[in-house]
Structure 1
Amino acid sequence: MPTSPTVRPTTPPTVWLTRGRHGGSAAEDVLRRSLHRLKDNQDIDDFREVPAAGDDSSDRVFEARWRTPDRVIVRARLSLTPSTHAWTLVAEAEQPWNPAWPSPATKFWPQETHAGSDAGRVPGPDSGSGGGFGCDWDRDTATGLSLGGISPLPQDDKAVRRLLKSAARSGWNLHVVVHEAMTTDERGQVPLTRWLPPGLRHRVVEHRAAPQQLRVVNWALRDVGVEVPRGGAVVLPGSPAPSGYDARDFSVRAVFLDGTEPADLVAAVTRFAALPRPLPDGAEEALTALREEWQLFTVEEELARQRELVAMYREALEAMTKSRDLYREAAERAHEALAAYRETAGALPAARRPPEEPGTSPFQQLTRTLERLRDSAKALRPAALTQAADQSPGGVGPAREREDTAAGPARSEP
């Protein structure tokens, strides 16, 4: 019998999340130096590196808190896997998220250089080598491509199909496929994120298809149910697709890659980002960790937290005390009832309290009584018989018999 798929919770409107991978080494040092600099520049209020609970292979966790231009407090948690340098970032504000707010990625990672295109991109120096910050941190985990830059599709058709299938299955970031109607010059090599709101700039992967690749692109996307118009673009639905997604609403028929703002495409991406989307794989656990394992408290927050703990302990102690009193009262009543029963049992007459052996039936009692009477009769039987013989007329009793025996010889003499 088929079972219905599990319904995933929807991403709360106060939450911003993304996932990426650092392309270099010593990603932990990159984060530490960047967070120290951001705090010194007052870009963030404070940060904390949570001590690792396990061995060297366990995730490294960094927490940061800042205020938006609207003075809304944002708390964010970034977990980094040392072996793969994959990272997950979840941020939550005290109000619904505004795309105009700065990207939370800029509150953790350095922003010195950003090439804008993987075709001619040269990774920045790695921080582990001692010179500056490594900026090759913004790689999409599903495809390995740049978050915010331009990523031309591979020339091999099979590689294109594999890449677009991976992009279509991605639920963490937004993937946009743009078809170039003709080969572009430098003016057309401006990434889409330049015109997007700040909150979307590190969540979008822009795939560029060459003029001759339209057919293979649409063939690779036919299982997804979307199609790229010639010289246009489409926003892929991701997996799972958000409720209310219609490919026609998020496809643009013409995108002019001449350096001007592609207003229709920007509007389509912004509308897609505003849809209520299901939490992707692993996001629910990351959000729960942000809410329940948060450790970066202010003095006021820590004081309020301790007061809540004291109130909770007080309620628990009162409940235990009340339970103890009820138990004591019940025990006292049980003792009183037992004492009253004993007094009542001691005041009963002896006749009403015959000592009986456990398990003795009335028939057994009657049998024992008859046996006692029989024994008494046997004890009285010799005396009764003697008395009866002496008193009988002509009868010879034992005493007379003894006298006749004694006098017998004397009577036999002449």
Structure 2
Amino acid sequence: MSNSSTAPPTIPHTVWLARGRHVGSADAADVVRRQLQRLKDREVIDDHLEPDEDQHEDPRERVFEARWRVEGTVTVRARLTFPPAPEPGSASGASDTTEGREWLLVAEAERVWDPRWPSPATMFWPEDTDADWDHVTVPGLRFRQVNPLPSDEKELRRLFRSCAQDGWSIHVVVHEAMTPDAHGRGPLARLLPASLQHCVVEHRATPDQLRSVNWALLREFDFQVPRGGAVVLPTSPVAPSYDVREFSVRSVFLDGSEPTELVDVLCRYGAARPLPDGGQEAVTALREQWKLMTMEEELARERRLVAMYAEALEAMTKSRDLYRESADRANEALAALRDSTGAAVPGAPSRPGGSPFQRTFGRWRDATKALRPAPPTDSEHADPPSDGGRSAEEQ
């Protein structure tokens, strides 16, 4: 579906990422700080850190780091960031008051990410059902809950258009073939692998909404949701390999059983997702600005720095020696040129007496000076006397 000839970079297979909003009255940073300390006391995580503000590129940014192990030996490093909050009184600041504080969370494991691993979001945020942190950046939507689709067709199109721009989340539209019972009315998130629960946004269409929902889907994406089935919406940037047939499910049984086919589709879509807007910067910050290190990691880091400085010094020394060798060769060539030709070399001091040719020419010039006629004297240049001026003797 993408018109770009260059495929956008996909999310690394070792990386998990999500974005959301905290809309509660409590300070979001305090909520995260308490949760991290609680899990460290229970030895769920190995350690956590809140780097100093002066270590960030933007001092208004708040950062939390944590590390833990899965399957006993696989280390996971995670970085939660609160981007700078808008200034009070500004248009964006007013929006922030009603929509909460945005957060970005990126985690990376030592091997390919397994969706069955614990969600990194639960390491930074409490898992309470009434938590205030699991709101999607698209207004009105939440993770881990059923999000009913609006009945107005214009609102439907507006919603789908907003969801298509949210590349940090996986948006799936589920249609109810018939009104489900109490088991089926619950969110599908609780049946998904742990790491998908805080990435998937479930949009639910009632049985009588199929026509209007498919009308809006056709206008925005040029496809439809199967009756009683589900479809994953393409988000920006769209993967060139996206095919709605690969990411749709013919039937989803809303009876409380595990939606195996839908889980498979969601996992495949998540594994092929392109990096969202700002995702590359977030992954780079996790890898290059990481501060929470063990003693062994600190030692390895210092050794890498020493090796890097040694390589730089060796390169500088080699460059200096090459320059000196080139200068010596140039001086040798200049001296050889003087000795072989005896000619004056531009930029070099002249030899006394000049070249043999110059000396011969000088002797010839001195010899010919004697053969030249003497210049006339002043008396020879005087005018001859006139008759009126003859002497007495001549008279």
Query: What band does the TM-score fall into relative to the shorter chain?
Result: 0.7 to 0.9
Structure of greater Rg: 1
Separation of aligned partners in 2, 1:285 and 1:37: 29
1:252 and 2:253 equivalent?
no
Q: Kindly indicate whether structure 1 or structure 2 has the higher relative contact order, using CA contacts under 8 Å at least 6 residues apart.
A: 2
Query: Partner residue of 1:304?
Result: 300
SS at structure 1 position matched to 2:320? helix
Q: Which moved more, 1:142-151 or 1:86-95?
A: 142-151
Question: Is the Cα–Cα contact under 8 Å of residues 353 and 359 in structure 2 kept in the other structure?
Answer: no
1:11 and 2:11 equivalent?
yes
Query: Partner residue of 1:268?
Result: 265
Question: 1:208 Cα deviation (Å)?
Answer: 1.4
Question: 1:268 Cα deviation (Å)?
Answer: 2.9
Does the C-alpha gap of structure 1 residues 326 and 220 become closer, same or farther in structure 2, counting only changes over 3 Å? same
Separation of aligned partners in 2, 1:147 and 1:333: 73
Query: Partner residue of 2:123?
Result: 107
Question: 1:203 Cα deviation (Å)?
Answer: 0.6
1:289 and 2:285 equivalent?
yes
Aligned partner letter, 1:94: E
Query: Partner residue of 1:23?
Result: 23
Provide the identity percentage: 56
Question: 1:31 Cα deviation (Å)?
Answer: 1.5
- Residue in structure 2 matching 1:168, options 164, 167, 173: 164
- Residue in structure 2 matching 1:378, options 371, 376, 379: 376
Question: 1:58 Cα deviation (Å)?
Answer: 3.1
Question: Is the Cα–Cα contact under 8 Å of residues 153 and 216 in structure 2 kept in the other structure?
Answer: no
Query: Partner residue of 1:190?
Result: 186
- Give per-residue Cα distances to partners, 1:266-309, cap 9 Å, x unaligned: 333233333x2211111112112222222222111111111111
Separation of aligned partners in 2, 1:228 and 1:146: 21
Question: Is the Cα–Cα contact under 8 Å of residues 228 and 251 in structure 1 kept in the other structure?
Answer: yes
Query: Partner residue of 2:38?
Result: 37
Question: 1:220 Cα deviation (Å)?
Answer: 0.9
Question: Is the Cα–Cα contact under 8 Å of residues 165 and 220 in structure 1 kept in the other structure?
Answer: no
Question: Is the Cα–Cα contact under 8 Å of residues 149 and 191 in structure 1 kept in the other structure?
Answer: yes
Question: 1:353 Cα deviation (Å)?
Answer: 3.6
- Give per-residue Cα distances to partners, 1:213-249, cap 9 Å, x unaligned: 2111111111313322233322223233335433234
Question: Is the Cα–Cα contact under 8 Å of residues 64 and 80 in structure 2 kept in the other structure?
Answer: yes
1:352 and 2:358 equivalent?
yes
Question: Is the Cα–Cα contact under 8 Å of residues 171 and 240 in structure 1 kept in the other structure?
Answer: yes
Question: Is the Cα–Cα contact under 8 Å of residues 165 and 221 in structure 1 kept in the other structure?
Answer: no
User: What TM-score results when the alignment is normalised by the length of structure 2?
Assistant: 0.78
Question: 1:30 Cα deviation (Å)?
Answer: 1.4
Question: Is the Cα–Cα contact under 8 Å of residues 16 and 106 in structure 2 kept in the other structure?
Answer: yes
Does the C-alpha gap of structure 1 residues 341 and 94 become closer, same or farther in structure 2, counting only changes over 3 Å? same
Query: Partner residue of 2:67?
Result: 65
* CA RMSD of superposed structures (Å): 3.5
Query: Partner residue of 1:397?
Result: none
Query: Partner residue of 2:196?
Result: 200
Aligned partner letter, 2:63: V
Question: Is the Cα–Cα contact under 8 Å of residues 53 and 59 in structure 2 kept in the other structure?
Answer: no
How many residues were matched structurally?
354
Aligned partner letter, 1:208: R
Question: Is the Cα–Cα contact under 8 Å of residues 19 and 86 in structure 1 kept in the other structure?
Answer: yes
- Give per-residue Cα distances to partners, 1:77-115, cap 9 Å, x unaligned: 22112424111111111111111111111121122x11x
Question: 1:334 Cα deviation (Å)?
Answer: 4.9
- Give per-residue Cα distances to partners, 1:191-213, cap 9 Å, x unaligned: 11122111111111111112222
**What stretches of structure 1 of length at least 5 have no aligned partner?**
115-122, 124-134, 357-361, 383-401, 409-414
- Residue in structure 2 matching 1:88, options 89, 104, 109: 104
Aligned partner letter, 1:75: R
Query: Partner residue of 2:346?
Result: none
Separation of aligned partners in 2, 1:264 and 1:174: 16
1:277 and 2:278 equivalent?
no
- Give per-residue Cα distances to partners, 1:336-375, cap 9 Å, x unaligned: 666677786347678834899xxxxx9xx89x969x945x
Question: Is the Cα–Cα contact under 8 Å of residues 7 and 240 in structure 2 kept in the other structure?
Answer: no
Question: 1:173 Cα deviation (Å)?
Answer: 1.1
Does the C-alpha gap of structure 1 residues 57 and 160 become closer, same or farther in structure 2, counting only changes over 3 Å? farther
Separation of aligned partners in 2, 1:258 and 1:333: 87
User: What TM-score results when the alignment is normalised by the length of structure 1?
Assistant: 0.74
Aligned partner letter, 1:297: M
Question: Is the Cα–Cα contact under 8 Å of residues 7 and 239 in structure 2 kept in the other structure?
Answer: no
- Give per-residue Cα distances to partners, 1:300-323, cap 9 Å, x unaligned: 111111111111111211222232
Separation of aligned partners in 1, 2:355 and 2:244: 99
- Give per-residue Cα distances to partners, 1:150-208, cap 9 Å, x unaligned: 11223433322222222233321111212223333422222111221111111111111
Aligned partner letter, 1:13: H
SS at structure 1 position matched to 2:80? strand
Does the C-alpha gap of structure 1 residues 241 and 325 become closer, same or farther in structure 2, counting only changes over 3 Å? closer
Separation of aligned partners in 2, 1:200 and 1:13: 14
Question: Is the Cα–Cα contact under 8 Å of residues 187 and 202 in structure 2 kept in the other structure?
Answer: yes
Query: Partner residue of 1:230?
Result: 227
Separation of aligned partners in 2, 1:340 and 1:318: 33
Question: Is the Cα–Cα contact under 8 Å of residues 90 and 286 in structure 1 kept in the other structure?
Answer: yes
SS at structure 2 position matched to 1:325? helix
Question: 1:333 Cα deviation (Å)?
Answer: 4.9
Separation of aligned partners in 2, 1:57 and 1:192: 39
**What stretches of structure 2 of length at least 5 have no aligned partner?**
86-95, 343-350, 381-390
SS at structure 2 position matched to 1:221? helix
- Give per-residue Cα distances to partners, 1:13-33, cap 9 Å, x unaligned: 111111111112411111112
